[in-house]
């Protein structure tokens, strides 16, 4: 999509607008809607929001914020069978967490049920809607194809009086669910399939969470959405591409509703591409299934693509917004690389996450020439990427833990970690040399022995002496146990939605969660960590504190490892194209 540069009122710098923002800016510049800008985000409260919704939210709220407009939050609660207040609350929390607010513009499609019902009655009276007694299968079979016209329902020519009577009795609860529907009488030969007498009302007898048992008929989404936009004075109704063919139908209903007034004001629908991400699914139905069948720990499981899952995983709103900016808004469908999302969270956390030490798979090291009763407090940088982040103290003593993988008795070439006869630096501390190790009957290393060089402390002159490897570590006597949860991708295949012939649950990655119950963390971390706090564990990645933590038992989620394959790939591409 070509991007033009436009100057935005009040913006300090020139920005490159995406095509949606450009359309809105042009409308504002042309003085449409009296210079008013009002968007809306219209979730159905039948699940938790995912990162695809975040793409819509950042557009709907973002463009309003950028150009001095407002954005409504409207719950599209037209299906009482699937909706719940739990979802309503989670949706509000997630939008707020992303940094947006709807102020006093909170709406529910159910508030418009009386007006929509009245409008339906009017259409019936004008001969523009009829009650059809056929089953949904029969109706579908008569739809025709895009190239062949549909077949008229045998009930199409009922009189307005009969239709009115039947529709009112449908609403009074006289008929069973599925036995009758109300259809708009438009054109069974239209080239747009949505115009072939669409169903606009159906019977549902479950109580609605807001309107209770007041209604026995409920409007279809297509009969509620465009009119709701109109009722609220929405100027720009931004949605995803699958609604392109629905747009003429929304315009039709609004025109029927508003008559000539539509020339003064009609919501303008603009469509952009959905977000699809590799190694996950975005379908609310599938996500609900994962939750219901306990294939994940809940909607906020850190492996889920939900906003609450990402939050629990340690994602920041900034990283999500940056990612959405990177992929942009276009007019064609795409599958976006989850590696780019991960790249953005690394960038974000690199700037803000304090550096600490934790040993995930510990093995003990005894520094034999360090006195048993001695301990030192060493000074550690909190974050070299953040000016003024300061330092904290970390204890050092005769016994420490290092990662088991950082020691090899018989190393291959280019192993620059600890090995007999070789030196490494302890991060922020001394250089140590390995003198031997002890093994159990099965040959597992139980202890490593080293000596340290007292003249090599980091931060002193001797600290400049270079050795090939630097290891993270914690003091055995001072460290605290914690639980760490490591995550891998939720699905084992790149595009689970494309594998139509397989049950998507078979495609789950069986190794997406690894729990390490006995991780050794430095005391500073144990003392300062609060739920949702984010840290870089030196050399091991970015971690955040999980709400499952309790006093004395910290639980950490690994947000993401340190290695950024996305950045590397981009660098390579740059080198190739240079």
Cα–Cα distance between 5 and 16 in angstroms, integer?
5
Among 17, 20, 55, 512, interactor with ligand ATP by CB under 6 A: 55
Cα–Cα distance between 105 and 111 in angstroms, integer?
13
Q: Using the rule CB under 6 A, is 52 a contact of ligand ATP?
A: yes
The smaller minimum CB distance to ligand ATP, of residues 43 and 428, is found at 43
Cα–Cα distance between 201 and 170 in angstroms, integer?
10
**Element at 480 (helix H, strand E):** strand 480-487
15, 128, 143, 274: the active-site residue: 274
Binding span for ligand ATP by CB under 6 A among 51-59, 169-177, 344-352, 477-485:
51-59
The reply to whether 44 belongs to the active site is yes
Binding span for ligand ATP by CB under 6 A among 38-46, 97-105, 167-175, 303-311:
38-46
284, 346, 398, 425: the active-site residue: 284
Q: Which one, of 475, 483, 463, 498, lies nearest residue 547 by Cα?
A: 483
> Do residues 375 and 475 lie in contact, with contact meaning Cβ atoms separated by under 8 Å?
yes
The reply to whether 284 belongs to the active site is yes
Residues of span 281-300 touching ligand ATP by CB under 6 A:
282, 284
- Those residues whose C-beta lies under 8 Å from the C-beta of residue 121, and which sit 6 or more positions away, are 164, 167
Binding span for ligand ATP by CB under 6 A among 10-18, 44-52, 129-137, 323-331:
44-52
Q: Which one, of 362, 315, 367, 365, lies nearest residue 338 by Cα?
A: 315
Residues of span 229-258 touching ligand ATP by CB under 6 A:
239-240
Cα–Cα distance between 150 and 147 in angstroms, integer?
10
Q: How far is the CB of 288 from ligand ATP (least distance, A)?
A: 10
32, 44, 162, 385: the active-site residue: 44
The smaller minimum CB distance to ligand ATP, of residues 107 and 542, is found at 107
Looking at beta carbons, which residue is closest to ligand ATP? 52
Q: How far is the CB of 78 from ligand ATP (least distance, A)?
A: 10
The reply to whether 255 belongs to the active site is no
Can you read off the two tokens belonging to residue 457? 């402390």
Q: How far is the CB of 62 from ligand ATP (least distance, A)?
A: 13
412-416 contact pairs (CB < 8 A, 24+): 416/468, 416/469
Among 17, 18, 21, 53, interactor with ligand ATP by CB under 6 A: 53
Number of residues lying near ligand ATP (CB under 6 A):
14
Q: How far is the CB of 376 from ligand ATP (least distance, A)?
A: 53
Q: How far is the CB of 49 from ligand ATP (least distance, A)?
A: 8
Look at the block and give the residue holding tokens 């020439």: 369
> Do residues 21 and 66 lie in contact, with contact meaning Cβ atoms separated by under 8 Å?
yes
Rg of the chain over Cα atoms, rounded to whole angstroms, equals 31
Residue 272: how many CB atoms within 10 A of its CB?
21
**Residues making contact with ligand ATP (CB under 6 A):** 42-44, 46, 52-53, 55-56, 239-240, 274-275, 282, 284
Task: Write out the catalytic residue numbers.
Answer: 44, 274, 284
């Amino acid at each position: 999509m070509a991007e033009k540069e436009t100057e935005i009122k009040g913006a300090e710098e020139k920005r490159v607008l995406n095509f949606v923002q450009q359309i809105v800016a042009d409308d504002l510049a042309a003085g449409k809607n009296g210079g008013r800008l009002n968007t809306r985000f219209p979730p159905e409260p039948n699940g938790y929001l995912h990162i695809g919704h975040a793409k819509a939210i950042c557009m709907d709220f973002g463009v309003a914020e950028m150009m001095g407009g407002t954005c409504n939050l409207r719950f599209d609660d037209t299906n009482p069978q699937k909706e719940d207040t739990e979802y309503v609350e989670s949706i509000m929390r997630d939008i707020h967490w992303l940094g947006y607010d709807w102020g006093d513009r909170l709406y529910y499609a159910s508030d418009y049920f009386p007006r929509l019902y009245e409008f339906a009655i009017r259409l019936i009276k004008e001969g523009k809607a009829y009650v059809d007694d056929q089953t949904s299968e029969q109706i579908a079979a008569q739809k025709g194809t895009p190239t062949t016209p549909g077949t008229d329902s045998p009930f199409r020519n009922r009189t307005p009086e009969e239709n009115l009577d039947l529709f009112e009795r449908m609403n009074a609860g006289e008929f069973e669910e599925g036995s009758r529907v109300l259809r708009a009488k438009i054109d069974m030969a239209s080239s747009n399939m949505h115009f072939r007498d669409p169903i606009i009302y159906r019977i549902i007898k479950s109580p609605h969470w807001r309107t209770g048992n007041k209604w026995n008929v409920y409007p279809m989404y297509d009969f509620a959405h465009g009119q709701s936009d109109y009722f609220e004075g929405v100027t720009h109704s931004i949605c995803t591409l699958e609604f392109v063919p629905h747009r003429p139908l929304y315009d039709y209903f609004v025109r029927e509703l508003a008559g000539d007034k539509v020339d003064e004001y009609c919501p303008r629908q603009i469509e952009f591409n959905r977000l699809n991400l590799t190694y996950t699914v975005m379908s609310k139905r599938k996500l609900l299934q994962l939750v219901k069948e306990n294939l994940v720990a809940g909607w906020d499981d850190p492996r889920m693509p939900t906003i609450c899952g990402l939050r629990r995983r340690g994602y920041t709103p900034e990283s999500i917004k940056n990612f959405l900016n990177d992929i942009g808004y276009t007019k064609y469908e795409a599958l976006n690389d989850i590696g780019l999302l991960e790249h953005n969270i690394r960038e974000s956390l690199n700037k803000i996450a304090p550096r600490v030490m934790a040993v995930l798979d510990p093995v003990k090291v005894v520094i034999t020439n360090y006195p048993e009763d001695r301990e030192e407090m060493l000074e550690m940088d909190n974050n070299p990427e953040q000016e003024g982040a300061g330092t904290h103290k970390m204890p050092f003593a005769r016994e420490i833990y290092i990662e088991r993988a950082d020691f090899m008795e018989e190393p291959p070439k280019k192993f620059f970690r600890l090995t007999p006869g070789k030196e490494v630096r302890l991060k922020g501390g001394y250089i140590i040399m390995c003198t031997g190790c002890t093994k159990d009957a099965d040959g597992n290393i139980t202890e490593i022995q080293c000596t340290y060089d007292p003249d090599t402390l980091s931060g002193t002159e001797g600290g400049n002496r270079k050795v090939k490897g630097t290891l993270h570590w914690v003091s055995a006597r001072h460290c605290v146990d914690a639980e760490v949860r490591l995550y891998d991708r939720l699905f084992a295949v790149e595009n689970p939605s494309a594998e139509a012939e397989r049950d998507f649950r078979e495609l789950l990655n069986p190794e997406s969660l690894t729990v390490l119950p006995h991780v050794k963390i430095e005391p500073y971390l144990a003392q300062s960590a609060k739920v949702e706090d984010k840290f870089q564990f030196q050399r091991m990645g970015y971690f955040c504190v999980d709400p499952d933590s309790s006093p004395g038992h910290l639980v950490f989620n690994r947000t993401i490892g340190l290695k950024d394959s996305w950045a590397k790939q981009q660098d390579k591409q740059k080198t190739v194209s240079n």
